Amino acid sequence: MNEEKMVSSYDKIADIANAYRKLGKKIVLTQGSFDMLHIGHGRYLTTAKTYGDVLFVGIDSDEKIRHRKGPDRPVVPEEERLEMVTYISAVDHAIVKELGQPKWELIKRIKPDVLIATKETYTSIQIKQLEKICGKVIVLEPMATTSTSAKLRLVQMGMAKKISKTLSTRIIATMEDVIEELKAL
């Protein structure tokens, strides 16, 4: 377990960021769900690190994800998602972001030199507001052909097709049995 990379409070992560800042390190922050970690996540985090010396990652809590994506998400619990991202060598520190936190609280605490986001994360107006808090906002293109949500939909559709086929076969067989019994009357 990479406990030295996992940070438990916003106060502590702010202190860590300030210590790096005093050493002249360029601080990068990115945030996300990182549910069902896949190649796109690895590429994204590795690319994010190239914009600075130290990469901080905010992981959305289970509650925050359920609020945004529905009751069936996340698939992987926050403790596991937090630990998983710490195994990616580009990640220096990670913290869970809770649902009730004030808007952009982690960004305000870390005050990154560079904030990395995906296209869907912020509007152009929000990016301008964020640039007042951090030095620069970099928007990255998707780094995988299929998102976690899309992969889950494919699995669900495949399961639905299998269930539908099984039920159809059983319904037809039952109807044929009923017809045969009715003919016998």
Average pLDDT of the residues in 11-36: 97
Confidence (pLDDT) at 178? 74
Least confident of 7-16, 114-123, 176-185: 176-185
CA distance 78 to 61: 6
Per the model's pLDDT, the better-predicted residue between 157 and 17 turns out to be 17
The pLDDT tens digits for 86-136 are: 999 999 999 999 999 999 999 999 999 999 999 888 999 999 999 999 989
Instruction: Give domain 10-144's CATH architecture.
Output: 3-Layer(aba) Sandwich (3.40)
CA–CA dist 53, 60 (Å, integer): 23
Q: How much is the pLDDT for 145?
A: 62
Q: What average pLDDT does range 41-68 have in this prediction?
A: 96
For 140-154, the pLDDT digits (tens) are 988 766 555 555 555
Q: What is the mean pLDDT of the chain?
A: 88
Most confident of the ranges 66-70, 136-140, 146-150:
136-140
Residue scoring higher pLDDT (169 or 10)? 10
SS3 category, 115: strand
Count the neighbouring beta carbons within 10 Å of the beta carbon of residue 28: 28
